Amino acid sequence: MNEKLDALTDATLLGLPVPDLALAVAAALAAYLAMRLVLRYVIGRTRQLAQRTSNHVDDMVVEVLGSTNRVFLLLAAVLVGVGMLDLTERWNQRVGQLWFIALALQTGLWFTKAISLGLRRYEARHSSSGMTQVSASAVLLSWSLRTLLWAVVLLAVLSNLGVNITAFVASLGVGGIAIALAVQNILGDLFASLSIAVDKPFEVGDAIGIGDLSGTVQHIGLKTTRLRSLTGEQIVISNTDLLKQIVKNYRRMEERRIAFKFGMSYRSDPEKLEAIPGIVKRLIESRPKLRLDRVHFQAFGESSLDFEVVYFVTTPDYGLYMDEQQRLNLQMMREFDALGVEFAIPTRGVYVMSDGGNPAEAAERNDRVEEAPRAQRAAKQH
């Protein structure tokens, strides 16, 4: 019996003692089970924490950890077992390289899953506001991030294997510059589309204004953005040209500022003119959707005494603003008629004095010329 044990102890397999191989296999199995249990425990605890919070970061962590590749766990367990063996320096170096490759690949898979989750949340957030498909810019962003991620992983693995990546990176840089110069206009629109996707100055369905153009955003593509104008035609503008201009997003307006003027006749009594700001203030403050800023007798105009009114509509609804302005205009007409003042009508007086004429007679004649149009307007009203 002892002889058999001694023979088994002295036996070798692949140049390694059998007891050492058995110990390595046992260590690998124990490491695999331990990693599975630890991973399950961490995922369970993180999921419980995620259920008690409202942010999405911990939910993403749970899904990313849940995507851990089982092949990676098996490979890691085998490497733990191999680490228990008495290997040469060369094989120990190879084991270290395998550890780095395994960790790099698994890290790449984790970040790929995180990018996919981010894209999914972007899609869910926009579909709730009427968007039926993921923006092309979001797809471009996801593709760019994944390409960059796996390029970094590949370069890191090659560097760990002893490959000189300096010349490789330099050649890629030179080639990238040449390609970029050849398609710079297309790349400009692509990156402008990416900027729109990340910064979100507007989204599909927003009403925007660009210079003299205005309309509703229908589609945000990789190269162009399409608007539907107020008159019905479609406006197509490149993303680069669009971002070079000032974009006014009417949908994100919280309230609307209104400023308008009206003129009163120069024949109005000062006492009655003094009451006008109070009347306008009362009319505006009686409306729950309006907020008064100021009412002032602003200036002496060419043919009128000019008043300026500034108020706010507390909602961005353009139809509501027009309804309120119409109601205010009609109420002002009634109030001013009851007060005994009239709006100014643009007029221009011409004073004629003949040579040697009497100034008093000329002034009386000019007064009769000015009274004639007013008498005609009064006759028409009756």
Distances (CA, A) of 207 to 125, 172, 226, 235: 19, 42, 12, 13
- For residue 375, the model assigns a pLDDT of 44
Structural domains of the chain in order of their starting residue, each with its CATH number: 7-160 (no CATH), 184-249 (2.30.30.60), 256-339 (3.30.70.100)
- For residue 181, the model assigns a pLDDT of 62
- For residue 328, the model assigns a pLDDT of 95
- For residue 361, the model assigns a pLDDT of 59
- For residue 330, the model assigns a pLDDT of 95
- For residue 244, the model assigns a pLDDT of 86
The letter for the amino acid at 86 is D
Any idea which residue has 């007409």 for tokens? 333
- For residue 178, the model assigns a pLDDT of 67
- For residue 242, the model assigns a pLDDT of 87
Point out which residues pair with 292 in neighbouring strands.
Answer: 311
Spatial separation of the C-alpha atoms in residues 355 and 338, rounded to whole Å: 45
Taken as a whole, the chain contains a residue count of: 382
- For residue 379, the model assigns a pLDDT of 44
- For residue 312, the model assigns a pLDDT of 94
In a structure prediction context, what are the per-residue pLDDT tens digits for the chain, which is 382 residues long?
555 545 545 555 555 566 667 777 888 888 888 888 888 888 888 888 877 777 777 777 888 888 887 888 888 888 877 777 766 777 777 778 888 888 888 888 888 888 888 777 766 665 544 443 445 556 666 777 888 888 888 888 888 777 777 766 776 666 667 666 655 667 777 778 777 877 788 888 888 888 888 888 988 877 888 999 888 899 998 888 888 888 888 888 888 899 999 999 998 999 999 999 999 999 999 999 999 999 999 999 988 999 999 999 998 888 899 999 999 999 999 999 999 999 998 776 666 655 555 555 555 555 554 554 454 444 444 4
